[in-house]
Amino acid sequence: MVRCFIAVDVHGEAVEEGVLEVQERLRTLDVKFTFVEPGKMHITLKFLGEISDSMIEEVRRSIGDLSFPPFNLRFRGLGVFPDPNRPRVIWIGVSEGGDELSKLAGKLDDALRRLGFPREARGFKPHLTIARVKRGGGAALSKVVQEYRLKDFGESKVESVKLKRSILTPEGPIYTTLHEWKASQE
């Protein structure tokens, strides 16, 4: 069994610098975090969980020729999930390109429902996870979120969607691309 998800990679100097700035600020707090390395940043469109090798092939076939044009994402503002009183995920918002991401997530949901993967119950909320809260939070974290709530983090171009394997290790996840659907000029 292999832990898999479908995502778009996020890269760009301004985005990476902005993420590192926020992560450095978060490190000053008395909160235990695990941080997403800038080189591993992505937006998950569909989490598949633990699936077999044969199911990986079925996923590829079911999605088929995923058709979408290249588009830009713009990142703005900092937030938390599920709520400020119980923060578990620190994220950067998507201010442009969110509709395109939602359409891709919807196409994937439709294609994968036939294989028994359930639709996302909470709906798709485009965001870039930059840290997970392991312990703590409170007023100090809320203050940092407020400081960055309007910050423009720059942009990244979406030119492909990737099926990825994730191996969880104590040093952080190791991602491997199993399949890539490239954007096409329509």
Among 127, 130, 145, 162, the one annotated catalytic: 127
Among 38, 42, 104, 130, the one annotated catalytic: 42
List the beta strands (DSSP E) in the chain. 2-9, 32-35, 42-51, 71-83, 86-96, 127-135, 152-158, 160-167, 174-182
- Strand duo 42-51 + 2-9: pairing: antiparallel
48 and 4 in contact (C-beta within 8 Å)? yes
Query: Measured at the alpha carbon of residue 20, what is the angle toward residues 14 and 22, in degrees to the nearest 5?
Result: 105
Contact residues for 177 (Cβ-Cβ < 8 A; gap 6+): 162, 163, 164
Q: How many residues does the chain have?
A: 186
**Would you call 11 a catalytic residue per the annotation?**
no
- State how far the Cα of 116 lies from the Cα of 51, in Å rounded to an integer: 12
AA identity, residue 172: G
**Would you call 179 a catalytic residue per the annotation?**
no
3-state SS, residue 96: strand
Q: Which sequence positions are flagged as catalytic?
A: 42, 127
